[in-house]
C-alpha cells in the first residue's frame, strides 16, 4: 500500500471520540477536554509533556515537579457517531465536555482547565440600564 492510500485510509477510519481526562494522582488535579480522536489527543499531550512543550503551563510545571509516573491519561466518555455522513460531532462533544467540567470542576486548585469565558459575561455592562 502506498503512502497516499495509507493516508486516505487513516482519514476514513473512525476513531474513538469523546471526553478525556489527564489526572495528577498526587494532588487529584485534572484536565478535562474533548476530541474527535481521543487516542491522538492523549498521545499529543504525552509527547508535548515529555518534550516540555505543553501549552498548558500549569500541567507542564507539575509534570516536571511530580514526574510522569503520577499522571493518568484516560477516556471518560465515548461519543458514538450517528450513522449519518453529514453528522458533525462538534456540538455534542462540547456538550459532553461541559457536563464533565460541571461535574469535576477542574479549575484552580482542582484542575488545569481555565474557567469558562461565559462566567465573565455575567458581569453587567454599566451602560445597560435595568
Q: In CATH, which of 3.90.550.10, 1.10.10.10, 3.40.1440.10, 3.90.320.10 is domain 26-114?
A: 3.40.1440.10
The angle that helices 57-66 and 38-51 make with each other, rounded to 10 degrees, is 60
Residues in the chain: 130
Count of helix runs (H) and strand runs (E) in the chain: 4, 3
Strand, coil or helix: 112:
coil
Domain ranges of the chain: 26-114
Each of the 130 residues of the chain gets a pLDDT tens digit; together they read 788 877 776 666 678 999 999 999 999 999 999 999 999 999 999 999 999 999 999 999 999 999 999 999 999 999 998 888 899 999 999 999 999 999 999 999 999 999 987 654 444 444 444 3
Q: What is the pTM of this model?
A: 0.81
Q: Show Cβ contacts of residue 34 under 8 Å, excluding neighbours closer than 6 positions.
A: 17, 18, 19, 20, 93, 94, 96, 97
Query: What pLDDT is recorded for position 126?
Result: 40
Query: What pLDDT is recorded for position 14?
Result: 74
Q: How far apart are CA 90 and CA 1, in angstroms?
A: 32
Amino acid at each position: 500500500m502506498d503512502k497516499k492510500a495509507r493516508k486516505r485510509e487513516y482519514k476514513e477510519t473512525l476513531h474513538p471520540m469523546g471526553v478525556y481526562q489527564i489526572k495528577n494522582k498526587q494532588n487529584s488535579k485534572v484536565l478535562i477536554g474533548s476530541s474527535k480522536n481521543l487516542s491522538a489527543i492523549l498521545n499529543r499531550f504525552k509527547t508535548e509533556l515529555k518534550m516540555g512543550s505543553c501549552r498548558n503551563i500549569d500541567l507542564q510545571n507539575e509534570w516536571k515537579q511530580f514526574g510522569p509516573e503520577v499522571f493518568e491519561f484516560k477516556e471518560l466518555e465515548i461519543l458514538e457517531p450517528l450513522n449519518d455522513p453529514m453528522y458533525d460531532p462538534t456540538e455534542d462533544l462540547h456538550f459532553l465536555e461541559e457536563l464533565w467540567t460541571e461535574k469535576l470542576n477542574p479549575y484552580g486548585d482542582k484542575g488545569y482547565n481555565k474557567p469558562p469565558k461565559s462566567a465573565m459575561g455575567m458581569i453587567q455592562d454599566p451602560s445597560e440600564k435595568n
